[in-house]
Amino acid sequence: MINELYNAAPYIDQFQGTVFVVKIGGEVLQNPRQLESLTRQILVLWQIGIHPVVVHGAGPQLDDAIAQSGAKPTKIDGRRVTDENVLRLAVQTFRGTANLALVSALVKQRVPAVGLSGIDGSTLTLRKRPPVDVGGKMVDFGFVGDAVNVNADLILSLIEADYVPALCSLGADMDGQVLNINADTMACELAVGLNAEKLIFITDKPGILHDQKDESSIYSVLDAKDIERLKSEGVISGGMLPKVTAALGALKRGVSRVHILGADEDDALLEETFTNQGCGTMITLSREAE
């Protein structure tokens, strides 16, 4: 234990006072054991002076709500098509049940969490996405927004007051129209806007895998060239696509490190932060730059 503390000391010194944006998948919110483990780790980060900002998705919860409404979820390249009914359900699910579940879990661990959306304080201004070409077909994603501005004032004020912001993936345009935004993309935008030291994705996989059926086949480090190759080979697909796209976007715009970690791995967040070996997959722009 003493050796572990000595080994962690340089990392504590390095990261104290910095911002970590931690994105949690909606499936984690549905798993009590994973949620308790993760919120306890966030407590440790906060206690030693790191500033966690948590962004959460709620995809499985929204899928359930859509099914209960008698409709079917529609996703293209891992991104959701949002019509009026889906938007209504997203507001109820994201800002309501899912966000409250996360904040409650954090408060249970004595983390002073504050539940928000990107709409609060005009934190995230979006523009409704026009129809886009996806595989040679024009697709209208509906009430889905792309970020045009991040106003970090509210988040920074909460951080300064020693609170932990927990945000769901909703924003609004200049006219106040609520729009859905992919939670991975939102986490990227906030990480850039907050000059975050790390952007960390917590997923149901232990990292990016070569073989989806073999959780030991983790890529420890990938750069931009690796990712393009793996995308073309179909190794990276589905819900992992928006994560790696957000990761590369964040790195290109100044975020120091991006990591993809498994929610089911004990203390993955702490191990990645405070040990030499780390865990999961670290994404960089270029291996030569490391």
pTM of full prediction above 0.75: yes
Task: Report the DSSP beta bridge partners of residue 166.
Answer: 54, 115
Q: CA 245, CA 184: separation in Å to the nearest integer?
A: 9
Q: What does the pLDDT read at residue 156?
A: 98
CA 233, 78, 71 angle in degrees (round to 5)? 140
pLDDT for the residue numbered 99: 98
Average pLDDT over residues 243-261: 90
User: Which pLDDT belongs to residue 83?
Assistant: 95
- pLDDT band at 278, cuts 50/70/90? confident
pLDDT band for 110, please (50, 70, 90 cuts).
very high
Residue 153: what pLDDT?
Answer: 97
Q: Is the CB of residue 168 less than 8 Å from the CB of residue 58? A: yes
> Which pLDDT does position 289 carry in this prediction?
52
| Mean pLDDT calculated for residue range 188-215 | 90
Q: Which two tokens stand for residue 199?
A: 């952007």
* 243 close to 183: Cβ distance less than 8 angstroms: no
pLDDT at 256 over 90: no
Read off the pLDDT of each residue in 208-232 and give the average, rounded to a whole number.
86
Q: How many CB atoms lie within 10 A of CB 282?
A: 22
Q: Which of 36-50, 189-203, 276-290 has the lowest mean pLDDT?
A: 276-290
Q: What is the pLDDT of residues 34-92, one digit of tens each?
A: 999 999 999 999 999 999 999 999 999 999 999 999 998 888 876 789 999 999 999 99
Mean pLDDT of the chain: 91
